[in-house]
Amino acid sequence: MDLFKGSGVALITPFKSDGSIDYETLRHLIDFQIENNTDAIIIGGTTGETSTLSYIEHMSIIEECIDYTNGRVPVIAGTGSNCTKKAIELSKEAENLGADGLLIVTPYYNKTTQNGLINHYSKISEKVDIPIILYNVPSRTGLNIDPITVKELVEKNQNIKGIKEASGNINNVAKIKELLGDKINIYSGNDNEIVPILSLGGVGVISVIANILPKETHDLVINYLNGNIELSRKEQIKMLNLIKALFKEVNPIPIKKAMEELKMINGTLREPLIEMEEENKKQLIKEMKKYGIKGI
């Protein structure tokens, strides 16, 4: 089962000025994404500041997204943890709420071994029936999933269907494709590597920039998959300076600032994340204008 092909948005969590979750704005953002051809919504991931949400808040945004989306596009819930027991609890609850799939990051901080990864993901897989996307982002977790580990996990667990590859290591992606072929869906986890990963057999992206450019990100992927490679390549290159500005500071500080400038949200972050530095903010706005984003 393919969860999706194309662009899945790594959706931010909007907060009110007092720091509580802004559910009305969340619904507006979901509509904006669907109206602009986003192929899937990923809720409760890194971009959603999940590490600062309580368990109840985490589950509530997943439930709200599932209920409001109402089957219009797949909803994939971020349920990773550095505690296997907690990841199982989160995953089972998200499945019960009606999530179409799960995005599960590798354990972070305490980390584990490659055999530990096989144990961790396999135990989660045994407890749920919906598809799982592995999330490899060693810059945040300090842990890389080796391609041979991905192969073993896919062959051992029938509901591990994809991997979000944000290692920045193209060799990793190529090796996964060599070992598994079409047995796994590879999604770019970095907006500046969408075309390179598609060229190695990837099927899409789980995207930060899609929060503000959903149609453009969808079109970039779909054009490539439909054989319009030159058009896709041009869009990837056009986006690069804006992508760079969106990652001048730790995600999601810049994307929330961009959305605030577009009056999509009020821009509130939860500490330890703080307001974007003025010089970086000026550069971000400059790149948004150069790209041609209306309303900036």
Q: Which residues belong to the active site?
A: 135, 164
Q: What CA–CA distance (Å, rounded) separates 197 from 5?
A: 13
Q: What CA–CA distance (Å, rounded) separates 185 from 42?
A: 16
* 165 neighbors 137 (Cβ within 8 angstroms): no
Phi, psi (deg, nearest 5) at residue 176: -60, -45
Contacts of residue 69, defined as CB under 8 A and 6 or more positions apart, other chains included, come to 30, 34, 41, 75
* 179 neighbors 157 (Cβ within 8 angstroms): no
Q: For the chain, what is the total number of helices (H) and then of strands (E)? A: 12, 8
Residue 187 pairs with which residues in a beta bridge?
A: 164, 204
Structure tokens at 215: 């149609």
Radius of gyration of the CA atoms of the chain, in A: 18
Residue 221: Cβ within 10 Å count:
28
Q: Rounded to a whole number, what is the largest CA-CA distance in the chain?
A: 50
For tokens 């779909």, the residue is 222
